[in-house]
Amino acid sequence: MPTSTDRSRARLVSRAAGVVAVLAVAAAVFVLRPVDDGPVTAAGTDATTAPPASTPTPSPALSVPPPASATDEEFCAEFRRLAESQGQFVSNGGDTSVDRLRASADALVATGVPDAMSLPARSGYYTLISGVYDSIGLELAPEEVGAPGEPVAGGDAAFASYMGQYCPP
């Protein structure tokens, strides 16, 4: 019969495994993401080539539709499920792990994004979740998580800050 010490130890091991899985997901996304060739303007040119003076450049923050709304608790619970699935996918591979990872990623996206998650944090979240989809051969549009089409400077750090504040391990 398990003692309270055994249950406490099991809980601690479970939390530690969750933290390791989240870090593995983040590390995989940051290592596997494509190299940024520099910002691209609305005119499709790089930032060193200015668009014509008569062409206004829309602000990405104004052109991003809001995603479905979730509570912080709902988002964090689904994110933890995704991290667990990602950990199993990395360790086991196989069709079952791919199916579980896709189901977890789809559930997280369907849950929505909390109101407390800023546009830069949504950009960082998109970097991470699109990396998960890329790892199983699928694509995700930034609009599905309320992120702009181009990465926002500081987005990865903003998402990490959101996770630290609202989804502690």
Residue with tokens 């206004």: 56
The pLDDT of residue 71: 95
Tell me which of 25 and 124 has the higher pLDDT.
124
Output DSSP code: residue 40: B
Tell me which of 19 and 92 has the higher pLDDT.
92
The answer on pLDDT for 6 being more than 60 is: no
CA–CA distance from 15 to each of 90, 91, 121 (Å)?
18, 18, 24
Which 3 state secondary structure label does DSSP give 46?
A: strand
Distance CA 62, CA 142 (A): 14
Per-residue pLDDT band for 17 (boundaries 50, 70, 90) equals very low
The pLDDT of residue 146: 92
Strands (E), the chain: 69-70, 113-114
The pLDDT of residue 77: 96
Distance CA 125, CA 148 (A): 11
User: What are the φ/ψ torsions at residue 4 (nearest 5 degrees)?
Assistant: -65, -30
pLDDT tens column, 108-167 = 999 999 999 999 999 999 999 999 999 999 999 999 999 999 999 999 999 999 999 999
Are 100 and 89 in contact by the 8 Å Cβ rule? The answer is yes
Task: Name residue 113's beta-bridge partners.
Answer: 69
Cα pseudo-dihedral 84, 88, 93, 97, rounded to 10: -60
pTM to 2 decimal places: 0.63
The pLDDT of residue 20: 38
Per-residue pLDDT band for 1 (boundaries 50, 70, 90) equals low
pLDDT tens column, 63-109 = 555 678 999 999 999 999 999 999 999 998 888 889 999 999 999 99
Distance CA 80, CA 86 (A): 10
The pLDDT of residue 68: 82
Residue 43, C-beta contacts closer than 8 angstroms, at least 6 positions apart: 51, 52, 55, 57
**What is the CB-side half-sphere exposure of residue 34 using CA atoms within 13 A?**
7
Q: What is the DSSP string of 63-78?
A: SPPP--EE-HHHHHHH
The pLDDT of residue 3: 57
Are 43 and 57 in contact by the 8 Å Cβ rule? The answer is yes
